[in-house]
Amino acid sequence: MSSRRDFLQKISLSAAVIPFLSAKSVAATKDDKPYDGPILRVAILGLGSYGTRVADAMQSCKKAKLVGAISGTPSKLTAWQSKYGIPEKNCYNYETYDAIKNNPDIDAVYIITPNALHKEAAMRVAKAGKHVISEKPMSINAKDAQEMVDACKKAGVKLLVGYRMHYEPKTLEVIRMRNAGEFGKVLFFQGLSGFIIGDPTQWRLNKALSGGGAMMDIGIYSVNGARYMIGEEPIWVTAQEVKTNPEKFKEGIDETITFQLGFPGGAVASCLSTYSLNNLDKFFLDGDKGFAEMQPSTGYGPIQGHTHKGELTQPHITHQTLQMDGMSELIFEGIQPVVPVDGEEAVKDLKIIDAIFEAIKTGKKVALKL
């Protein structure tokens, strides 16, 4: 897990409403006015490197608060209790966390575990009556992802996904410019997502846990980015795979994939996902009246970029802080982000990834219906 995270760091209820905590002075806003409103109280499931990153970022949230932890490692639970001031009664292991059903202090659980474990955890959290936040990809295929969506709807809880870029200011400015017609007719998108992965024994190179290789990790940024940058849903995909190290990247673990997406307005996306090349974190959007280029485009920040009108100067704010505050607004106030962060959004990405794998297997263009 640390390889991708380290790399990115360096280059850059629905029907049932769960009780919430009101705090008069959790944090000050930019104009120094204290926030007085609902606080989304979150337990993190999976206390690895990214779970720690989210926990650290939440210390700056105004509308979300870390209140619980779930882990299979007792020493991690003890450390988090001390570091983040989490009460022992809000700490669980993987066998006992169904008991959150009876814990009114927890509103939502953020699942940050290997991809293949997201579904089971989401089902259990939903059954316990708590909102579900899942890291991306939401599951290992679209079928499982849809079952997660259905289970959360049945339980009357929200299902949200850790699409932090959907809250990132420079990204939102490019989307605003596109919506305003400042690029003219969008014709082309390029997404380059990759890095050299390290430890060959890590779970990301274990198909049973990851569901795939680079595409299920870094490649999803270009899949999702093509959609929100162009502003349409693709209607077809073609793809090719290259594997130079079959010892490290075994059967079912993709090393490098190039893929192309076609959009109903005529735009084409050309993207690359790899575990074998560094310095790949770039988006380029081109229209007949202008362009936007971002590099780094999806790293932890600061994101950098420019358009035909000049440099993007929006301030850098920790992505996960913005994300968690935004998710609190969505759950309690119904405020939707410009680009969705719900389970249905994640199902679309996984339908595209499923089709990419099919295109590689068959060598044919695969039609998409999202």
- 41-74 pLDDT, tens digit per residue, is 999 999 999 999 999 999 999 999 999 999 999 9
How confident is the prediction for the chain on average, in pLDDT?
93
Q: What order do you get walking across the sheet with 236-242 strand by strand?
A: 310-311, 305-307, 291-294, 280-287, 186-194, 268-274, 256-262, 236-242, 366-367
Given 62, 63, 65, 136, the catalytic residue: 136
CA proximity to 259, closest of 296, 233, 220: 220
Q: Is 172 or 7 the better-scoring residue by pLDDT?
A: 172
Q: What are phi and psi of 173, to 5 degrees?
A: -70, -40
Q: Look at residue 187 and tell me whether its pLDDT is greater than 50.
A: yes
**97 flagged as catalytic:** no
**136 flagged as catalytic:** yes
- 10-28 pLDDT, tens digit per residue, is 444 333 333 334 333 334 3
Q: What is the pLDDT of residue 33?
A: 80
Mean pLDDT, residues 154-177 taken together: 98
Given 92, 167, 221, 300, the catalytic residue: 221
- What's the rounded Cα separation, in Å, for the pair 295 and 317? 17
Q: Look at residue 166 and tell me whether its pLDDT is greater than 50.
A: yes
Specify whether the CB–CB gap between 191 and 222 falls below 8 A.
yes
- 298-354 pLDDT, tens digit per residue, is 999 899 999 999 999 999 999 999 999 999 999 999 999 999 999 999 999 999 999
Residue 34 pLDDT grade (very low, low, confident, very high; cuts 50, 70, 90): confident
Mean pLDDT, residues 83-104 taken together: 98
Note the pTM of the prediction, 2 decimals: 0.91
Q: What is the pLDDT of residue 340?
A: 98
- What's the rounded Cα separation, in Å, for the pair 119 and 204? 17
Q: What is the pLDDT of residue 325?
A: 98
Name, in order, each residue with C-beta under 8 angstroms of 18's C-beta and a sequence gap of 6 or more. 107, 129, 130, 131, 157
- 201-252 pLDDT, tens digit per residue, is 999 999 999 999 999 999 999 999 999 999 999 999 999 999 999 999 999 9
- 95-147 pLDDT, tens digit per residue, is 999 999 999 999 999 999 999 999 999 999 999 999 999 999 999 999 999 99
Angstrom distances, CA of residue 92 to CA of 64, 87, 245: 20, 11, 40
Q: What is the pLDDT of residue 275?
A: 98
Q: What is the pLDDT of residue 21?
A: 42
Give me the domains of the chain, ranges plus CATH numbers.
2-164 (3.40.50.720), 167-315+343-367 (3.30.360.10)
Q: Look at residue 29 and tell me whether its pLDDT is greater than 90.
A: no
Q: What is the pLDDT of residue 27?
A: 40
Q: What is the pLDDT of residue 32?
A: 62
